Amino acid sequence: MKTIVITGSSSGIGKATAKYFAEQGWQVAATMRKPQNETELNQIEGISLYALDVTDQASIESAVAQILNDYDKVDVVLNNAGYAAIGAFEAAAPEQVERQFDTNVIGLMRVTRAFLPHFRANNDGLFLNVSSIGGRITFPFLSLYHSTKWAVEGFSESLAYELGELGIQVKLIEPGGVDTDFNGRSMDFCTQEGLDDYNEAVSYTH
C-alpha cells in the first residue's frame, strides 16, 4: 500500500486530494497547522492527521519523524500549503512580503529537504509541487503571489534534474481557478493607510 504526505490539508486542494487518495486505497498523512480543529478527514479510513506548519522548522522535523515512524515508506510528498497576498506592492508591509515567501517558497523547500534523505535511501519518491497558472502568467496586484509561484517553478524544474539520477521525481501542478476558499480565508490583503492612488484599479480588477 502506497503512502502520500500532503501539506495544507485542512481545506481546498489539500483536503480534496486527501479524500481522493484515501478513496483509491492509499495511506494518507494529512498535515495541517491545527489538526485538532479538523472534523472531517479524521473520520475517513486511511487518513491520519499530523501537525505541521511549513514556516516552523521544528514543526516540520517533528511531523516528519512521526510520519516515518508510522509508515515504512513514503512514496509521494504533495507540497500544497500556500496562500496569496493581494494588493499593490507598495502597500505590502515587510512582514507580509516575508510571510508570503516563507510559506509559499521557503516552506516548500523545508518540507522537500526534510523528506530527501528518506527518498534517497529508497532511490525512489515523488515530489508534487503545487504551483499555479500564476507561475506562468501574471495579473495586476498579485506581484507577491506570482513571484513566489515563479520561484516554485524554477526550483522544481532545476531540482528535477538534480534528483532524476537518484530515482526521485519532481513534478509541478499548475491549476487555474478552483472552487475553494482561496479567494476568501486564504487571502492576505495588502493595504496602507493614506495610500489611495491604487484604490480604483484594485477595485476594478478585483
Catalytically active residues, by annotation: 131, 145, 149
Type of residue numbered 117: P
Distance CA 49, CA 83 (A): 21
The DSSP code sequence of 2-61 is: -EEEESSTTSHHHHHHHHHHHHTT-EEEEEES-GGG--SGGGSTTEEEEE--TT-HHHHH
CB of 136 closer than 8 Å to CB of 174: yes
Residue 37 has which C-alpha cell? 480543529
Distance CA 170, CA 126 (A): 6
* CA nearest neighbour of 103 among 138, 167, 53: 53
